[in-house]
Amino acid sequence: MSAAGFNAATISVNVTSGGTATANASLTPAGNSTTFTPIRVNAGGAAYTDASGNVWSADTGFVNGSTYRTSAPISSTSTPGIYQTERYGNGALEYRFSAPNGNYSVTLKFAEIYFNSAGLRVFNISINGTQVETNFDIFAAAGGNNKAIDKSYTVAVTNGTIDIQFTASANNPKVSGIQITGGAGTPTAGSFVPIRVNAGGAAFTDSPGQAWRADSGFVGGSTYSTTAAIAGTSDPALYQTERYCGGCTLEYKFNAPNGTYVVNLKFAEIWATAPGQRIFNIAINGQTYELNFDIIRLAGGPNIALDRRYPITVTNGVIDIQMQPVVNNAKVSAIEIMQSSFSPIRVNAGGPQVTDDLGRVWATDNGYIGGGSDAHSSPIRNTSTPEIYQTERFGTPGTVEYKYSLPNGTYTVNLKFAEIWFTSPGQRVYNIVINGQQVFANFDPLAMAGGSNTAVDEQFQATVTNGTLDFQLTPIVSNPKISAIEIFQ
């Protein structure tokens, strides 16, 4: 069956109440912040709005289990819809959710909607390894079947995750609803904890001292690893493991308050040995960001680190990353999600203003120094926004240069290309220089894309120290060119 997991870590749990409870506070999932938003999940069911106007999301955060429902009336509650559905496990059931460090109230909701006497369903409940209920019997605790009962616990989160486990003593454990709300000591508004996950691997601390969690947040898939050396990174261990999905879509889901983020996906091809052996598409929150993504082609070979960053806007409290196979299995080595307050710069080089399929506006060509412009109407492959690849600014002859005034800091510079004039490799070759540093030598847009009229993006990290980001394309063979520019932080 489908499984959904969220970031896993270790949490200390203090039980303060074993009776019924309701909570009405807030929580901000790990990796993000600002306003605390409660997590409310209708286990085994669809999205639901309760009598108090609280919205319960459709079932999410589960690691395993199956669903069941009833239409029987549920007593002892004003929100029977929550208790008429359930997720149950064949011997065990688990849910995981991200949460920044602080104190929380975790309320678990139950009603026995299948068995009709005590002793037929008995299970234990643990929160990140600490057992909070022993031999819990819903029927006995509620005083009968089809009667609501809540169990509430105080949880002190110290490293970013709430992991709820139900293990069977008799028959299958189950839960009807989960509510997580903030309490005293939750992080103050404005705090921010990036999400960092080592896909397919164990917890890891990188060279700058940043902690990466063991693989979590995934929906299905399998793991693979190598001991081969990885070039192009100071943290090879992050690229030596992967999660892949055999013949299916690889998916990761994380809770995130509404706002703007940068999703950094890390790759290294540790299985295939040539371009074309692994190709997949990448979508985030239902929007396609990469078509026919080929790690080896973009990295320049196997066992070479490749990062791809995508600025996104969250409007529904979730970041859902999907990698859909085209040739062989989709994969990822690591995932980093960071909050961003910088408004990206997007420029349609050589062309007019364009709104892409994600609703983002690319400004009319600006920031350039010299050069000419050209446009073609030929279809462009490997993109859902061909318009920004059908125009270009090129050297006439000589260097193509763009300059932008920016606050000092580190930025991602995403340069977009498609060869719309030449038809063979080697006919257009040039160097790419950012703030005086050569970041790509002998760049051939046709060769990198795998053909003419084919989109290819190249991403670079640039640090601005003097208030200006200046990039130059310097000719080697024929005129350098560029189709579009994206700068984000």
Structural domain spans, the chain: 12-182, 195-339, 345-488
pLDDT tens per residue, range 96-147: 887 777 778 899 999 999 999 999 999 999 987 788 899 999 999 999 999 9
pLDDT at 36: 45
Token pair in block for residue 55: 């919205």
CATH class assigned to 345-488 = mainly beta
pLDDT at 37: 67
Q: If pLDDT is split at 50, 70 and 90, which confidence band does 341 have?
A: confident
Spatial contact of 107 and 164, defined as CB atoms under 8 Å apart: no
Token pair in block for residue 96: 């995981």
Paired strand residues for 362: 354
Q: What is the CATH number that goes with domain 12-182?
A: 2.60.120.430
> Looking at the predicted structure, is the pLDDT value of residue 92 above 80?
yes
Amino acid at the residue 150:
D
Token pair in block for residue 170: 């008799």
Paired strand residues for 92: 167
Distance, CA of 142 to CA of 224 (rounded, Å): 46
pLDDT tens per residue, range 403-458: 999 999 999 999 999 999 999 999 999 999 999 999 999 999 999 999 999 999 99
Half-sphere exposure (CA, 13 Å, Cβ side) for 25? Answer: 18
> Looking at the predicted structure, is the pLDDT value of residue 393 above 80?
yes
> Looking at the predicted structure, is the pLDDT value of residue 191 above 80?
no
Query: 32-36, 56-60, 103-107, 328-332: which range is least confident on average?
Result: 32-36
Amino acid at the residue 306:
L
Domain 195-339 fold:
Jelly Rolls (2.60.120)
Per-residue CA distances from 196 to 220, 330, 345, 367 (Å): 19, 20, 26, 35
pLDDT at 22: 33
Paired strand residues for 38: none
Distance, CA of 73 to CA of 472 (rounded, Å): 70
Measured from the Cβ of residue 468, the count of other Cβ atoms closer than 10 Å reads 12
Q: Please tell me the chain's helix, strand, coil percentages from 3-state DSSP, rounded to the nearest 5.
A: 5, 50, 45
> Looking at the predicted structure, is the pLDDT value of residue 59 above 80?
yes
